[in-house]
Structure 1
Amino acid sequence: MDINGASAIVTGGASGIGAAAARQLAAKGAIVVVADLQADKGEALAQEIGGVFARVDVTDTDQIKAAVNAAAEIAPLRAVVNSAGIGWAQRTIGRDGEFDSAADLAAFTKVIAINLIGTFDVVRLAATVMSRNEPDADGCRGAIVNLASVAAFDGQIGQASYSASKGGVVGMTLPVARDLSASGIRLNTVAPGLIDTPIYGEGPESDAFKANLGANVLFPKRLGVPDELASMVVECITNSYLNAEVIRVDGGIRMPPK
């Protein structure tokens, strides 16, 4: 699928995997809407790649609609990447047998709201706009890529909320792809492993921590870099025969319990 001259939206596009995907989509000729809460980073990236910034909280349907409409006004919206998400870790119950020390239900709900419901909300709204596009030679009107995580399959101790949210993204891949096929829209999911993003911090202690994490990867024994994930995201968008798939990009790691 050719995205040259089309518009694209990347949620969580101001940093990490989202930013790498935005740069690679722009390199393919797409005009990228960087949708994020980080205005300073998002605006700087948009200026760098010739795109636009849109402040988007993926739990706010009106903000998503505004970003989708803004993209469609620039050019036909043919590519969407859902990279916005948060992490959270807490054991399901405490050690003292008291209700108050059990997992924070509000935190669990927030993770689900952003990572799963927010992703679906972007999909349903963006796909609605994509369905108005003229189809290409394959009948394709657009392509969507959702970001999950290896935690969807190998959730560690304390990762109930995060794994549930990403497992939901994996689980809805096939049924949503089936739904959207009638409109000529493809949907795939990419599940990253341990990726070197700003979440790990900087400096000698951070480097030592990341090296230790990387030692658990099957091969190569290091953390992945955002561009390695972004290249798969772009492949999912541009490869017209890739649909309804969940692809792990993780160096072969299978996460231990902790």
Structure 2
Amino acid sequence: MQLENLTALVTGGCSGLGHATAVALRNSGANVCLLDMNGDVGAQRVAELGEEHTFFVQVDVRDESSVANALEACSDKFGDIRLCVNCAGIAPAKRILDREGTPAPLAEFQSTIDINLVGSFNVARLVASVMAKQAPINDEGERGVIINTASVAGYEGQIGQTAYAASKGGIIALTLPMARDLAPLGIRVNTIAPGVMGTPMLLAMPEKVQDALSANVQFPKRLGLPEEFAKLVIHLAQNSYINGETIRLDGGLRMPAK
């Protein structure tokens, strides 16, 4: 898949990994639709990336009509949607029982699953229905690519990460069956599972916290860069033989219990 003049949408596209992905896609010549909850930052990102080739829609990924309306607006703006990158998500931390033995609030677990897992599935299923109606873009019959974001926590969740790990493990488990479901339609599905990434939220933490997070990275001995995540997105879009795969992007990190 060649990205020049193609339309891509990025959920959570106004910050962190999503923003880095949007920048890389624009630099590759794609038209980019940013789907995010933050309207103020959305307008800022459009101004930064250029109004001619960037479009923002305020979206709740959990809401069917919100996503469907956003997809329609993106199609009206730029035409056929060929790439969807799901980066929207939250990362709460809470033990199942606190020091007093009080159970973690069920609503917080449910919210994490709803945003990270259900939200990713909701966007993927709706964008797949749009892609399926589009003409193939090459002789192999490729119609589109969906890239979801998991985490190494989906494999090795740490203490306090039950909700986050469950949501990201669900995305990993979705990858192959979703790819199999959509293969006859020429739609590929892959997932990236980042390790500890140097997003603005993490870089705002004290240096000793950052050092602790990167201590178990094998090489290079540092936090991952959002730009490295974005490079992998570009490669997955362009390499048509990668399908149904979850790729760890973690410098050899295996997460300890805490």
Please classify the TM superposition score into its range, dividing by the shorter chain length. Answer: over 0.9
Amino acid of the residue matched to residue 23 of structure 1?
V
Instruction: Return 5+ residue gaps in structure 1 as ranges.
Output: none
Q: Distance in 2 between matches of 1:212 and 1:2?
A: 40
| Contact 1:154–1:256 (8 Å) recurs in 2 | yes
Aligned length: 253
Which residue in the other structure is 1:251 paired with? 251
In structure 2, which of residues 174, 199, 202 is the aligned counterpart of residue 200 of structure 1?
A: 202
- 1:93 is displaced (CA, Å) by 2.2
Moved more, 183-192 or 88-97: 88-97
Amino acid of the residue matched to residue 112 of structure 2?
V
1:150-205 deviation digits (Å, cap 9, x = unpaired):
00001001111000000000001000000011110000000000001122253xx6
- 1:41 is displaced (CA, Å) by 1.9
| Contact 1:150–1:191 (8 Å) recurs in 2 | yes
Aligned Cα root-mean-square deviation (Å): 1.3
| Contact 2:147–2:189 (8 Å) recurs in 1 | yes
| Contact 2:10–2:18 (8 Å) recurs in 1 | yes
Q: Secondary structure at the match of 1:255?
A: coil
Q: Distance in 2 between matches of 1:197 and 1:39?
A: 20
Which residue in the other structure is 1:64 paired with? 67
Q: Distance in 2 between matches of 1:4 and 1:137?
A: 18
- 1:88 is displaced (CA, Å) by 1.3
Which residue in the other structure is 2:141 paired with? 139
Which residue in the other structure is 1:15 paired with? 15
- TM-score with structure 1 length normalisation? 0.94
- 1:133 is displaced (CA, Å) by 1.3
Say if 2:78 is the partner of 1:90. no
| Contact 1:177–1:185 (8 Å) recurs in 2 | yes
Instruction: Return 5+ residue gaps in structure 2 as ranges.
Output: none
Amino acid of the residue matched to residue 141 of structure 1?
R
1:97-123 deviation digits (Å, cap 9, x = unpaired):
4xxx11110000000000000000000
| Contact 1:146–1:190 (8 Å) recurs in 2 | yes
- 1:56 is displaced (CA, Å) by 0.8
Q: Secondary structure at the match of 1:182?
A: helix
Q: Distance in 2 between matches of 1:95 and 1:211?
A: 27
**Which residues in structure 2 correspond to 1:108-257 (within 5 Å)?**
108-135=109-136, 136-202=138-204, 206-257=206-257
Q: Distance in 1 between matches of 2:252 and 2:42?
A: 32
State the percentage of identical aligned residues. Answer: 47
